């Protein structure tokens, strides 16, 4: 397998854009990534695109084909990937494999999304033969209620308080105000967070990410191409994909196996992160920063412990001491994370690669992690999908 470099990164700001199509947003991100890489559209040999059923265009999850027609139909292959909220990371994985295998020297990875209002409906059908429809109908547990249940388990196991949870949202917005691509750039106090509407105990409104529109793109290439165009390449040291184990204890279907002992979280995320770290020959303690999927504040506590970045029950104290800020010993989501961007589902994995690239180039401005050299990105999607990638400078 060949070395893979991230040569260019580009983003369309996150928000709600009623007058702008997902293809138009993807064009903005794509043109920015091409300009950053110093390559032309005709230099792109393949496209790996994160796609979903929300966004418009042709439908059928053909976002990549819409982008190619928008940019210019050159006959190149398009790979459309659908993995729920992990689709962006999944598209990056396919692009990475295309370059690493030697199939192509220059690949565009792009993800864009326009989200409908309200809770994300995971099934488009209303029939008794569809297990996902039955799960929603019988269990009645949308995302915030599921996350709240995880929080209550942590409260029981580790004594996590409402203040511990709120402190993560305060931290996110303290950083996110510096990110011009973020949708929400105002600072919140503890009182603001705890005074926001209770959605599902113990989670308040400001502790849950909303849905947004957005797009991001990266140009990845072989080492030979990278060395011709830059003296400081960012290397994609690894990329991995995993799915959930049946026995991890989370209720994904109409039934689940209850583990014998110990706390439970997303096995797919732990598997993907473990594979990415092993492939990159990186120990968890060697990471300089992490961009993880914070649909809610709970994940900033649970994931670092699951992946060996800190000890079980330690995460709350790290947040309280400021260690998860860009200047701390375990910077988490220096972009501001999903809490400040909102979730444009299929674009999120590509957004994370953009942020890590800018951090490793020392182009992140006021949210810069000093001396960052090794970084991890992680996404989690419907269906027990997960991805992870390790970047190095």
Q: What is the mean pLDDT of residues 333-357?
A: 96
112 and 97, same structural domain? Answer: yes
Confidence of residue 283 (pLDDT cuts 50, 70, 90): very high
**What is the pLDDT, as a whole number, of residue 99?**
98
- What is the pLDDT, as a whole number, of residue 138? 72
pLDDT cut 90: percent of the chain above it: 80
CA distance 389 to 275: 9
Looking at beta carbons, which pairs linking 151-160 to residues 24 or more positions away fall under 8 Å?
Answer: 151/202, 151/203, 151/296, 151/298, 152/201, 152/202, 153/263, 153/264, 154/263, 154/298, 154/301, 154/302, 155/202, 157/263, 157/313, 158/312, 158/313, 158/316, 160/301, 160/316
Whether the predicted pLDDT of 200 surpasses 70: yes
CB 9 within 8 Å of CB 353? yes
- Residue 126: the pLDDT is 73
d(Cα 119, Cα 364) in Å, to the nearest integer? 32
Tokens (6 digits) for 385: 């999908």
Q: How many domains does the chain have?
A: 2
Residue 120 has pLDDT above 70, yes or no: no
Q: In this structure, what CATH number is given to the domain that contains residue 15?
A: 3.40.47.10
Nearest-CA neighbor of 106 among 49, 63, 32, 42?
Answer: 42
In eight-state DSSP terms, residue 67 is: H
Same domain, 143 and 164: yes
- Confidence class for position 155, pLDDT limits 50, 70, 90: very high
113 lies in which domain range? 4-117+213-235
pTM beyond cutoff 0.85: yes
Clarify whether residues 107 and 140 are in a common domain. Answer: no
Q: Are 145 and 252 part of one and the same domain?
A: yes
Look at residue 123 and tell me whether its pLDDT is greater than 60: no
Write out pLDDT tens, residues 29-82: 999 999 999 999 999 999 999 987 666 677 778 999 999 999 999 999 999 999
pLDDT at residue 121, as a whole number:
61
DSSP 81-130: E-BTBTHHHHHHHHHHHHHHTTS-SEEEEEEEE-PPSSSPPS-S---TT-
**Which tens digits make up the pLDDT trace of 217-238?**
999 999 999 999 998 899 999 9
286 and 246 within one domain: yes
Same domain flag for 192 and 172: yes
The answer to whether residue 337 sits within a structural domain is yes
Q: Is 373 part of any domain? A: yes
pLDDT at 254: 46
Structure tokens at 294: 């914070």
**What pLDDT is recorded for position 115?**
86
Percent of the chain past pLDDT 70, that is, above it, reads 91
pLDDT averaged over the chain? 92
Q: 125 lies in a domain?
A: no
């Amino acid at each position: 397998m060949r070395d893979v470099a991230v040569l260019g990164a580009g983003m369309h700001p996150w928000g709600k854009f009623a007058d702008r199509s997902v293809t138009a947003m993807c064009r903005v991100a794509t043109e920015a990534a091409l300009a950053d890489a110093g390559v032309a559209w005709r230099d792109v040999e393949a496209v790996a695109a994160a796609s979903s059923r929300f966004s418009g265009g042709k439908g059928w999850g053909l976002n990549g084909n819409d982008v190619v027609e928008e940019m210019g139909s050159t006959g190149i292959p398009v790979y459309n990937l659908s993995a729920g909220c992990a689709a962006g990371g999944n598209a990056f994985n396919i692009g990475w494999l295309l370059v690493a295998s030697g199939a192509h020297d220059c690949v565009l990875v792009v993800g864009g999304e326009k989200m409908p209002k309200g809770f994300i409906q995971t099934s488009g059908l209303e029939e008794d033969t569809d297990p996902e429809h039955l799960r929603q109908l019988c269990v009645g547990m949308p995302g915030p209620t599921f996350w709240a249940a995880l929080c209550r388990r942590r409260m029981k196991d580790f004594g996590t308080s409402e203040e511990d949870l709120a402190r993560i949202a305060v931290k996110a917005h303290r950083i996110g105000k510096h990110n011009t691509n973020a949708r929400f750039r105002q600072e919140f106090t503890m009182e603001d967070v705890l005074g926001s509407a209770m959605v599902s105990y113990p989670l308040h409104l400001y502790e849950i990410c909303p849905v947004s529109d957005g797009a991001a793109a990266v140009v990845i290439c072989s080492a030979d191409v990278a060395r011709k165009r830059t003296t400081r390449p960012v290397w994609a040291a690894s990329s991995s994909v995993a799915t959930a184990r049946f026995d991890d204890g989370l209720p994904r279907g109409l039934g689940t196996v209850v583990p014998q002992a110990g706390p439970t979280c997303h096995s797919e995320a732990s598997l993907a992160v473990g594979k990415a770290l092993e492939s990159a020959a990186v120990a968890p303690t060697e990471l300089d920063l992490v961009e993880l999927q914070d649909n809610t504040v709970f994940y900033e506590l649970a994931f670092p412990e699951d992946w060996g970045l800190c000890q079980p029950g330690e995460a709350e104290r790290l947040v309280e001491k400021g260690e998860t800020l860009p200047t701390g010993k375990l910077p988490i989501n220096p972009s501001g994370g999903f809490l400040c961007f909102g979730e444009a589902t299929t674009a999120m994995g590509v957004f994370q690669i953009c942020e890590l690239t800018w951090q490793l180039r020392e182009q992140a401005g006021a949210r810069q992690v000093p001396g960052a050299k090794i970084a991890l990105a992680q996404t989690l999607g419907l269906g027990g999908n997960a991805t992870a990638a390790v970047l190095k400078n």
